[in-house]
């Protein structure tokens, strides 16, 4: 058996997030387009006498909000894999976070995805991507995408994935929120606002096709026009600073901006990696220190990081 295995998994941004009606199981039917971006969580799984988890930040941000008990999604993922595959060994997981905590970028789901891949390798289970994704779907709607990565259309709760052809790399600037937003609270607010408006979800309105076309053409301007998020109004209602951040991003020259997932991170699309650097430099004095990340997407899903030979 290997001594310890480290795996990484990416953050995601939803290029499209169409929210359908509330289902009986408490979830909403979604039509979404995920893109994996180059902010990563790293999880190291090491054999241990007892189950345990520790967390550090890769970039100096506050990680005190991450639970260190059995509610942690990475720990739940490792324990679920052990239980289903009859593994009677505990591990200690060490998480190195490069994805904003509670930011609407699926950092917790990336932890679960990386933990599944790391433990699968450590225990030499050879579960395969689909096997791990089926387990991941039990843990959270975004976990299967963290495993698959790249760009994909998600339906159902977001866990049913079909890859999307993308012919270019896109450059992003992410502006971190100043406080976390709870995903269930944002979905509830979306339902409340819709009930007030008498509005309902409008699937099949051509928005998905517009995103797919822009991705296929590798066209950042077209993608910028096609980005949309049905949770944006709800997230802005709960965290009004998001509207101001979006306006600041546009004023600073972003091709387009949108709330990432359920927020409070704002995703700004740039025309190139150099454009993203310029945008971040322009925004730094406006949004304050430590709140900007640049990234590109799509990137690969969860994978084992081979140890560097010394």
Contact stretch for ligand C5P (CB under 6 A) within 137-145, 211-219, 252-260, 288-296: 137-145
Q: What pairing do the DSSP bridges indicate for beta strands 5-22 and 228-229?
A: parallel
Per CB under 6 A, 42 contacts ligand C5P: no
> Which of residues 100, 103, 104, 140 is near ligand C5P by CB under 6 A?
140
Applying CB under 6 A, does 141 fall inside the site for ligand C5P?
yes
Q: Is 3 annotated as a binding residue?
A: no
**Smallest gap from residue 108 Cβ to ligand C5P (A):** 8
Site for ligand C5P contains 27 (CB under 6 A): yes
* 157 near ligand C5P (CB under 6 A): yes
| Piece of 183-191, 231-239, 240-248, 298-306 that binds ligand C5P (CB under 6 A) | 183-191
Q: Does 21 bind ligand C5P (CB under 6 A)?
A: no
Q: Is 184 in the site for ligand C5P (CB under 6 A)?
A: yes
- Considering only the stretches 59-67, 160-168, 182-190, 210-218, report the one whose residues sit in contact with ligand C5P under the rule CB under 6 A: 182-190
Number of residues located near ligand C5P, criterion CB under 6 A: 12
Taking the complex as a whole, how short is the minimal distance between the CB of residue 158 and ligand C5P, in angstroms?
5
Beta carbon of residue 61, minimum distance to ligand C5P (angstroms, whole number): 21
197/195 Cα distance (integer angstroms): 5
* Catalytic residue check, 97: no
CB of 262 to ligand C5P, least distance (A): 7
If binding is defined by CB under 6 A, does position 194 make contact with ligand C5P? no
Residue stretches of the annotated binding site for ATP: 100-110
Active-site residue numbers?
12, 142
Which residues are at the interface with ligand C5P (CB under 6 A)? 26-28, 30, 140-142, 157-158, 183-184, 187
């Amino acid at each position: 058996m290997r001594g310890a295995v480290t795996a990484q998994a990416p953050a995601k941004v939803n290029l499209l997030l169409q929210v359908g009606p509330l289902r009986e199981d408490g979830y909403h039917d979604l039509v979404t387009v995920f893109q994996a971006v180059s902010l990563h969580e790293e999880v190291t799984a090491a054999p241990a006498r007892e189950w345990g988890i520790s967390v550090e930040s890769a970039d100096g941000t506050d990680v005190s909000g991450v639970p260190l008990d059995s509610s942690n999604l990475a720990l739940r993922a490792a324990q679920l894999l052990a239980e289903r595959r009859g593994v009677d060994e505990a591990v200690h997981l060490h998480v190195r976070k490069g994805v904003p905590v509670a930011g609407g970028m699926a950092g917790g789901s990336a932890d679960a995805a990386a933990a599944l891949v790391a433990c699968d390798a450590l225990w030499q289970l050879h579960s395969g991507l689909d096997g791990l994704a089926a387990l991941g779907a039990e843990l959270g709607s975004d976990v299967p995408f963290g495993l698959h990565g790249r760009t994909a259309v998600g339906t159902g709760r977001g866990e049913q994935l079909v890859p999307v052809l993308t012919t270019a790399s896109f450059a992003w600037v992410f502006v971190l929120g100043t406080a976390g937003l709870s995903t269930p609270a944002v979905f509830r607010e979306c339902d409340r606002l819709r009930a007030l408006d008498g509005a309902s979800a409008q699937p099949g309105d051509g928005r998905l096709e517009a995103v797919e076309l822009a991705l296929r053409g590798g066209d950042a301007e077209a993608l910028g026009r096609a980005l949309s998020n049905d949770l944006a109004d709800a997230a802005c209602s709960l965290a009004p600073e998001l509207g101001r951040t979006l306006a600041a991003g546009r004023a600073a020259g972003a091709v387009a901006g949108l709330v990432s997932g359920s927020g409070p991170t704002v995703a700004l699309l740039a025309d190139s990696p150099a454009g993203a650097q310029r945008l971040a430099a322009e925004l730094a004095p406006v949004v304050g220190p430590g709140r900007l990340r640049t990234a590109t997407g799509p990137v690969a899903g969860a994978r084992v990081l081979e140890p560097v030979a010394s």
